Amino acid sequence: MKSTVRVLLIGAAGRMGKTIVDLARTDREIDIVAQCDLGDPIETAMEDCDVAIDFSHADAITEICRAALHCNKSLVIGTTGHSQAQRQTIKEAARSLPIVLASNFSVGVNVLFWLTRKAAERFGDDFSAEIVEAHHKTKRDAPSGTAKTLAELLKAARKIENEIPIQSIREGDVVGEHTVIFKGPEERLELTHRAASREIFARGALRAAKWVMGRPPGLYSMQDVLGL
C-alpha cells in the first residue's frame, strides 16, 4: 500500500485552494494536514507536512521558501505572476529542496507545451508565432503564467530574443484558454487548449505532490512529473 502524503495547502481559502481540498477528500494518498491563507504563519503550519502546495499570491513566495528551507520540506508551486527576483528566490531554494514549479498543472496544457516546441522547431523563419489567452475577470496577473511559459518555449525553440506577442482577454468566468497561432505564407496553424474546470489543475498539483516526495533537490516542471 502506498503511503499518504501529508500536505500543507497555502492559499486554502481561494478558488484553487477550495478545489484542492474537495479533490483531496477522494484521494487516499493525500492528507491535507494544515491549511494557510493570508495572515496565517506559514512556518508553524509547515512543521508537520511532507509537501507544501502553494496556490496563493506571488508575494508569499519569500516566506514560503524561507519556511520550506528551515523545515526541509518539498514544494509544489502553482502560483503565477512572480517577479524576476521572486523566481530567483525559488531557484535558490531549489538548490537545497525538490520543488515542482508549474504555470499550469493540467495534462492537456503540458501536452500543448510539448506540441508548441515541436511545431516551432519544424516551422522555419517564414512562420510568425503569437499567443492569445483568456481568463475570468478576477485573474490578477496578465499575461497568464501559461502564456509566458509558451512564449519562453517559442523563443527557445526559434532561437530568437524578440518578444512573442501575447493578447490577454479578461472576461466572464473563463477558467483558462490558450491558443498558439503560427502564421505562414498562405497558411495558419492554431493549437488551442480550453480548461473546463479548475479540477484539472488541482489533480495535477496533487500528482506533483506525490511525485516530488523523496526526489533530489532541484527545480522540476510538470513535464518532468508527466515524463514528457
Residues that are catalytic = 135, 139
Among 74, 79, 116, 179, binds ligand NAD (CB under 6 A): 79
Stretch that binds ligand NAD, among 72-80, 113-121, 162-170, 212-220 (CB under 6 A): 72-80
* Residue 72, number of CB atoms within 10 A of its CB: 9
Q: Specify burial of residue 202 (Cβ count, 10 A radius: 0-12, 13-18, 19+).
A: buried
In the bound state with ligand NAD, the residue whose beta carbon lies nearer, of 89 and 128, is 89
Spatial distance between the Cα atoms of 46 and 26, rounded to a whole number of angstroms: 23
Beta carbon of residue 216, minimum distance to ligand NAD (angstroms, whole number): 23
Distance of CA 36 to the CA centre of its chain: 19
Beta carbon of residue 121, minimum distance to ligand NAD (angstroms, whole number): 25
User: Residue 143, interface with ligand NAD (CB under 6 A)?
Assistant: no
User: Residue 57, interface with ligand NAD (CB under 6 A)?
Assistant: yes
Contacts of residue 109, Cβ cutoff 8 Å, sequence gap at least 6: 146, 178, 193, 195
Distances (CA, A) of 152 to 24, 41, 86, 122, 190: 32, 34, 17, 17, 18
Side-chain-side CA neighbours of 202 within 13 Å: the count stands at 24
Among 4, 6, 13, 107, binds ligand NAD (CB under 6 A): 13
Size of the site for ligand NAD (CB under 6 A): 25
β-strand pairing of 51-54 with 74-77 = parallel
In the bound state with ligand NAD, the residue whose beta carbon lies nearer, of 79 and 179, is 79
User: Residue 14, interface with ligand NAD (CB under 6 A)?
Assistant: yes
Stretch that binds ligand NAD, among 43-51, 52-60, 121-129, 160-168 (CB under 6 A): 52-60
- Closest residue to ligand NAD, judged by C-beta, is 14
Bond preceding residue 143 cis, omega within 30 of 0: yes
| Contacting positions for ligand NAD (CB under 6 A) | 10-11, 13-17, 36-38, 55-57, 59-60, 78-81, 102-105, 141, 201
